[in-house]
């Protein structure tokens, strides 16, 4: 299915969430990051432009500052992000360099994308980087913004970036097995593929037990098509043979 989706794609936005990027110790999961970077590098080698929207700054900073679970206070969240962002970018730079690829850090806020002039400046910067073969790595500027810290773990930001460029495809990777019908009950089961989003599907999309997660996992993602014309796919990690795919377009 993945090959079919990518067949006619020339520019894609990939969103990696905190749960994908950090391990049980709340530290960056280097093995996971390395294999994900390898896959993105392969897409770049195949001639596709790749933009990475990454979470993980808070997760990368939590362990350093001694937090076992995601802080609830905004100032503590922003402190974790400030510590973690530099660690995150250093890791990405080293991993992409193994494939001869350069990266650029781009920190954005929702205000940047809603203000017309700043919106255009952000787009021009991203296009210039892509034209030169650089991988833009985008994150919310968490030290001054609070929207994604409280509500979205960069899901909304990734959709706005996909619309901004525009991109042909938005891929959101998650550690959640898929959309769970009957979440929290013994009868819970995974819906391996969701082709169409309607009220019944939104009604069963509920929470997550991940200590690094933000929000209720799926319901906000079902609203992404309202923000971006690019088809959005949610692929579950790690086991490819058990991959759950939700298409929201």
pLDDT tens digits, 46-55: 999 999 999 8
Angle, vertex CA 125, rays to CA 122 and CA 127, nearest 5: 110
* Average pLDDT over every residue of 59-73: 87
Q: Which of 154, 150, 143, 138 is nearest to 82 (CA)?
A: 143
Query: CA 153, CA 60: separation in Å to the nearest integer?
Result: 14
* Residue bearing the bigger pLDDT, 34 or 149: 34
Give the pLDDT score at 95: 98
Lowest mean pLDDT, pick from 37-51, 115-129, 171-185, 224-238: 224-238
Residue 10 CB coordination number (10 Å): 10
pLDDT exceeds cutoff 90 at 42:
yes
| pLDDT grade for 159, boundaries at 50, 70 and 90 | confident
Give the pLDDT score at 196: 67
pLDDT tens digits, 78-128: 999 999 999 999 999 999 999 999 999 999 988 888 888 999 999 999 999
Give the pLDDT score at 153: 60
Lowest mean pLDDT, pick from 27-31, 126-130, 221-225: 221-225
Q: Which of 222, 212, 106 is nearest to 156 (CA)?
A: 222
Give the side-chain half-sphere CA count within 13 A for 39: 14
Residue-range domains of the chain with CATH: 2-248 (3.40.1160.10)
167 close to 11: Cβ distance less than 8 angstroms: yes
* Average pLDDT over every residue of 228-242: 48
DSSP assignment of the chain: -HHHHHTT-SEEEEEE-HHHHB-TTSSB-HHHHHHHHHHHHHHHHTT-EEEEEE--HHHHHHHHHT-SS--SSHHHHHHHHHHHHHHHHHHHHHHHHTTT--EEEEEE-HHHHHSHHHHHHHHHHHHHHHHTT-EEEEEE-TTT--HHHHHTTTHHHHHHHHHHTT-SEEEEEESS-SEEETTTSTT-EEESEE----HHHHHH------TT--TTTTTTGGGGGGT-SS-EEEEE-S-GGG--EEEE-
* Average pLDDT over every residue of 8-34: 86
Give the pLDDT score at 116: 87
| Mean pLDDT for the chain overall | 79
pTM: 0.79
Highest average pLDDT, of 12-26, 99-113, 148-162, comes from 99-113
| pLDDT grade for 244, boundaries at 50, 70 and 90 | very low
Query: CA 79, CA 82: separation in Å to the nearest integer?
Result: 5
* Residue bearing the bigger pLDDT, 182 or 51: 51
Q: How many residues does the chain have?
A: 249
Give the pLDDT score at 190: 75
Give the pLDDT score at 216: 46
* Residue bearing the bigger pLDDT, 66 or 228: 66
Q: Which of 156, 159, 136, 129 is nearest to 145 (CA)?
A: 156
Give the pLDDT score at 156: 82
Give the pLDDT score at 160: 87
């Amino acid at each position: 299915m993945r090959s079919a989706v990518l067949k006619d794609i020339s520019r894609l936005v990939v969103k990696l969430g905190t749960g994908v990027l950090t391990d049980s110790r709340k530290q960056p999961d280097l093995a996971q990051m390395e294999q994900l970077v390898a896959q993105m590098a392969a897409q770049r080698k195949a001639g596709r432009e790749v933009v990475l929207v990454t979470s993980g700054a808070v997760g990368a900073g939590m362990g350093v500052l001694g937090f076992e679970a995601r802080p609830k206070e905004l100032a503590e969240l922003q402190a974790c992000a400030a510590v973690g962002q530099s660690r995150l970018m250093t890791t990405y730079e080293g991993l992409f360099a193994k494939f001869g690829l350069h990266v650029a850090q781009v920190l954005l806020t929702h205000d940047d994308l809603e203000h017309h002039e700043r919106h255009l400046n952000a787009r021009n910067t991203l296009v210039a980087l892509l034209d030169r073969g650089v991988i833009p790595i985008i994150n919310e500027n968490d030290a001054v913004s609070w929207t994604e810290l409280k509500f979205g773990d960069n899901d909304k930001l990734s959709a706005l970036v996909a619309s901004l460029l525009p991109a042909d495809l938005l891929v959101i990777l998650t550690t959640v097995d898929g959309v769970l019908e009957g979440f929290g009950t013994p009868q819970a089961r995974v819906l391996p593929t969701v082709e169409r989003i309607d009220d019944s599907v939104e009604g069963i999309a509920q929470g997550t037990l991940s200590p690094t997660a933000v929000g209720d996992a799926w319901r906000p993602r079902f609203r992404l098509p309202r923000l971006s014309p690019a088809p959005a796919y949610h692929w579950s990690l790690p086991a490819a043979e058990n991959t759950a795919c939700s298409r929201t377009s």
